[in-house]
Amino acid sequence: MQNNILITGVGGQGIVLTSKLIAATAMAHDIPVMSAETIGMAQKGGSVFSFLRLGEGLHCPMFPEKTADIIIAFEPAEAVRMLGYLKDGGKVIVNTHPIMPVTAALSGSSYNGTEMMDYLERHVSDLRKVDGEAACKAVGSPRALNMIMLGQAIRCGVLPFTIDDIEQTMKATVKPQFVEMNSKALRME
């Protein structure tokens, strides 16, 4: 049994930590894991992704197009950008709140995410939309987005873990003062 997971978004949204938590949880369950992600200059406001693979017999951290079981997208356009990796019938969990590129103000771009959401609606049969902004407000922290998205991903049943499993790893990873906020985020319906 293998799982190919693609996490995507914009630098600064907490994608790398999300990937690390899934990997650590897999390790705790004796599941082999590999990952690869954007590192360096592109992290600054650029498109960021993390490829994550769980299971036996893995060759490389990156997986071919059309093989992701799930795409966890923290931003609508980034979901569209990476959609070629989704396998037929795969799941997409997307935060509907768009992030303007830092150069949008200069170029006069009117990007607001609606075109991207329309595209996803047309092309993804199993699409779960998350209003990340509203959910963060409900949790009480703009930094809760990654745990909200991760909680949603766990809940849809593709990953071989429960929320409790992830929560246990999270408690061992984040600073004590952030545990409560992150637990709340993981459990946001």
Q: Interface residues with other proteins (CB under 8 A)? A: 10, 23-24, 26-27, 32-37, 39-42, 44-47, 58-66, 77, 80-81, 83-84, 100-106, 109, 111, 115-116, 118-119, 122-123, 142
CA distance 170 to 24: 9
CA distance 56 to 155: 23
Closer CB to other proteins, residue 108 or residue 189?
A: 108
Query: To 5 degrees, how large is the angle CA 79–CA 16–CA 12?
Result: 75
Closer CB to other proteins, residue 34 or residue 155?
A: 34
Residue 42 φ/ψ, nearest 5 degrees: -65, -20
Residue 135 φ/ψ, nearest 5 degrees: -65, -40
Tell me the closest approach of the beta carbon of residue 46 to other proteins, in angstroms: 5
Tell me the closest approach of the beta carbon of residue 173 to other proteins, in angstroms: 12
- Cβ partners under 8 Å of residue 21, min gap 6: 150, 166, 169, 170, 173
Tell me the closest approach of the beta carbon of residue 5 to other proteins, in angstroms: 13
Tell me the closest approach of the beta carbon of residue 65 to other proteins, in angstroms: 6
Closer CB to other proteins, residue 42 or residue 156?
A: 42
